[in-house]
Amino acid sequence: MKRLVSLLGACLALFAGSAAAATPGVTADQIRVATIQDLSGPIAILGAPIRDGMVMRFDEENERGGVHGRKLRIAVEDSGYDPKKAVLATRKLLQRDGVFAFLGDLGTPVVMATMPIIVGAGRPHLFPFSPHEATYQPLDPLKFQLFAPYQDYMSAAVQEMVRNNGYKRVGLLYQDDDYGLEVMKGVEAGLARLGQTLVEKTGYKRGATDFASQIARLRAAGCDFVVLATVVRETVGAVSEARKLGWNVDMLVTASGYSAQTHELGGKAMEGLYGVSVMPHPYPAGANERLGEWIERYRTRYDAEPNVWSVMGYNVADVFIRGLRGAGRDLTVASFVHAMENLSTTRDFFGGPAYHFSAQDHLGNRHGRLARIEGGKWVLISDYLK
């Protein structure tokens, strides 16, 4: 009997090992995943903390023994916010590194260029930092998104701002790419529900540093409210240009500009700027006990203050780990997808939203909150807008 039990155990171990070997990126003792971040380009100030938050969460899980006995390994590639460079990195990660999934890739231009390659290779494309509709629609077993879509949250945010403040002449400054165009759709949809249209819209190319002509155009159109489809550095540049001219028009930036770096880089000129928050910034003052402990762990590890991008990086890694746990020891792409389609979370100590997935819906959250820079920090001024 002992010999039979031993033989059965050996067979089961061999079967598990064979199943793991058949799944790219999964071995008997590890799971390899990848992320493509901007670590050297115009949004590197976002990419570095995202990477750090993800690595921190993976290391915590590995210190507990990993997921079902497997340690998590993450390969990080730098895109420089360049879609062409990102495509090369994607092919390397698929062909040489053989990763199981791509997690939290940064930037809509990057994601739009690489997602078809990743999905075409049969790998899960998870929670990209690009809340573009294409990241979860049309429904695909391999595409999952955590972050509220630009169209949904910007439509709700614009309606809330116009109703509360009575704006009549809304303008838009947008990055001239997939990101900016998605925001534009949301803004236009929100205004249409209020019987309004954009009185002016003007674009800029990725990486621009001079916004004088765009701000002059919006001002000349008599805008009393300006929506910014910008990222951090460009947000600072645009708002600073307006304030330099003495134009104190109210401005609302997407979640791509909701960052501590915005007020840290822009200083007093950023006071009064509105933004959309999908996750709150982790300020130490007033933090709950668990958040305070997390902030201290992050500081000790990186000798730096965490920001909202650190939180979101940590968050995407945490939801991924929850999916892996639900998939069980016999991890395959199919078992992971099944686990994700049955995953629901509750609001955590960061104060972020609850996420819910199903076989019919791979978008975990649709809502954002309004915030405003007051006294040099972001202050939440609404709950999640429905």
Burial letters 335-360, b for 16+ CB under 10 A, else e: bbbbbbbebebeebebbbbebebeee
Cis peptide bond upstream of 141, omega within 30 = no
Helices (H), the chain: 2-22, 44-63, 83-92, 108-120, 150-165, 178-193, 212-220, 232-244, 260-266, 289-302, 308-327, 333-340
Q: How far apart are CA 206 and CA 139, in angstroms?
A: 29
pLDDT tens for 353-369 read: 999 999 999 999 999 99
Instruction: Say yes or no to pLDDT of 9 above 50.
Output: no
Residue 183 pLDDT:
96
Q: Which amino acid is at 145?
A: Q
Residue 143 to residue 31: CA distance in whole angstroms? 19
Cα atoms found within 13 Å of the Cα of residue 306, Cβ hemisphere only: 33
> Amino acid identity of 94?
L
Render pLDDT for 77-89 as a digit per residue (tens, 0 to 9). Answer: 999 999 999 999 9
- Which H or E run includes 37? strand 30-37
| Structural domains of the chain sorted by starting position, each given as residue range(s) with its CATH number in brackets | 21-148+288-355 (3.40.50.2300), 150-277+370-380 (3.40.50.2300)
Task: Give the residue-averaged pLDDT of 93-119.
Answer: 97
- At residue 130, does pLDDT exceed 80? yes
Residue 59, pLDDT score: 98
- Residue 337 — φ and ψ, nearest 5°? -60, -45
- Per the prediction, the chain carries an average pLDDT of 94
Per-residue confidence (pLDDT) for residue 21, from 0 to 100: 52
Q: Write out the two tokens for 218.
A: 């919006």
Terminal CA-CA length for the chain: 62
